[in-house]
Amino acid sequence: MNEAKLAPDERHRYGRHLVLPGIGEAGQLRLKSAKVLCIGAGGLGSPVLLYLAAAGVGTIGIVDFDSVDLSNLQRQIIHGEGDVGSLKTESARASINKINSAIDVVLHQDGLTRENALQIIESYDLVIDATDNFATRYLINDACFLAKRPCIWGSVYRFDGQVSVFCAPAGPCYRCLHPEPPAKELAPNCATGGVFGSLCGTIGSLQATEVIKLITGVGNPLIGRVLTYDALSAESEVISLNRNPECTLCGENATQSELLPDYESFCSLSLFTHNAGATPEISVHDLAAMRSSAAQFQLIDVREVEEWSQGYIDGAALIPQGEIFDGSSIERISRELPIVLYCRSGVRSLHCADALFQAGFTEVVSLAGGIQAWDLYSQHV
């Protein structure tokens, strides 16, 4: 039986790989026979797909249901102006083919769902999570663990990025890092919070590097480690992450053995959920997180004018409690955005929240401890 070898044109194309210790022809042949799935053809998926195509990964699957928009071009470098309006999968395939026509590109244009996730993922050797929402991240993680496929995860928000490898044998999964999704108001949103365009190239390139390391066996992949990168300071840190023995998916007494019925519901928990008989409160930490995550909400000070003149939380509007109780200022409060109320210590704002619930508002919380707690918190951050 003849041993597989690279063709002369392949040896020429991948010559810079062939001379690398630990890769050589054997490693390049492993790349050629590998099947890699990239979920997402946006900011992170763009550099991942381009570098994997250039590296000679034989089969690349692309999952994405979205179309190219002009606003994507600031960071999604696999697409161009002429691709606006086209499916991202089609545009990405065209760019891959320009780099390397020998790559077999498989398109999954319906996106990833609970119904198709395992079937799609089981057809590949490795999976790249290049998505930007928590529901899909948890779905990918769970499907990769159940299918026994490593998941190379990346995340970007504003000027910060993270990379790790999950679901590898004996390694942790994404749930070991984030056992539960954040409340939807705290979930980072690049559309409102922004993302530094070139940061996608940095993190996506790191993801592609991890893929190549895993396929060829060279180096030490980020299994059990999370790399964080701050683009503003150009500082990075690698944090150890062990498998969580209490993890519901991969822990010693795991309780989850299949995909969840509804990942959107699982990731739609709200700080503003109102249970009968209990007025919801949020902590100063949650309020700070909402502000830093660019969440859209109304912050209302229900104290009196004299108290307001002595200081207030930036971004707040003053509506004294009497104007809430008598309804004279209800029209100033939008029913379309969540509401955070605060007073001096958190007592009056609880009563005002109850009054707004009775007036038909549905997303209202009181700041526990009021402005006193906020001032104390602000002094220590």
Question: Tens digits of per-residue pLDDT, 43-72?
Answer: 999 999 999 999 999 999 999 999 999 999
Q: Is 171 exposed, middle or buried (0-12, 13-18, 19+ CB in 10 A)?
A: buried
What pLDDT is stored for residue 277 in this prediction? 61
Q: Are 58 and 35 in contact (CB under 8 A)?
A: yes
Q: Are 57 and 33 in contact (CB under 8 A)?
A: no
**pLDDT less than 70: residues of the chain:** 1-3, 274-277
What pLDDT is stored for residue 276 in this prediction? 58
Q: Which of 176, 250, 343, 352 is catalytic?
A: 343
Q: What is the pLDDT of residues 153-172, one digit of tens each?
A: 999 999 999 999 999 999 99
250 given a catalytic annotation: no
Distances (CA, A) of 46 to 96, 109, 162, 164, 285: 10, 16, 16, 18, 35
What pLDDT is stored for residue 1 in this prediction? 42
Distances (CA, A) of 130 to 39, 152, 315, 371: 6, 9, 34, 40
H or E stretch covering 375: helix 370-378
Q: Which of 38, 190, 247, 267 is catalytic?
A: 190
In whole angstroms, give the CA distance from residue 267 to residue 36.
27
In whole angstroms, give the CA distance from residue 101 to residue 129.
24
What pLDDT is stored for residue 2 in this prediction? 52
190 given a catalytic annotation: yes
Residues 6 or more apart whose Cβ sits within 8 Å of residue 234:
none
Q: Are 233 and 157 in contact (CB under 8 A)?
A: no
In whole angstroms, give the CA distance from residue 321 to residue 184.
28
In whole angstroms, give the CA distance from residue 5 to residue 26.
8
What pLDDT is stored for residue 224 in this prediction? 98
In whole angstroms, give the CA distance from residue 2 to residue 283.
67
Instruction: Give Dmax over CA atoms of the chain in angstroms.
Output: 90
What pLDDT is stored for residue 296 in this prediction? 87
DSSP-based three-state secondary structure for 75: coil
What pLDDT is stored for residue 137 in this prediction? 97
Tokens of 84: 């606006």
User: For 299, phi and psi rounded to 5 degrees?
Assistant: -110, 120
Check residue 361 and report its DSSP letter.
Answer: -
pTM of the shown model: 0.84
What pLDDT is stored for residue 227 in this prediction? 98
Check residue 67 and report its DSSP letter.
Answer: B
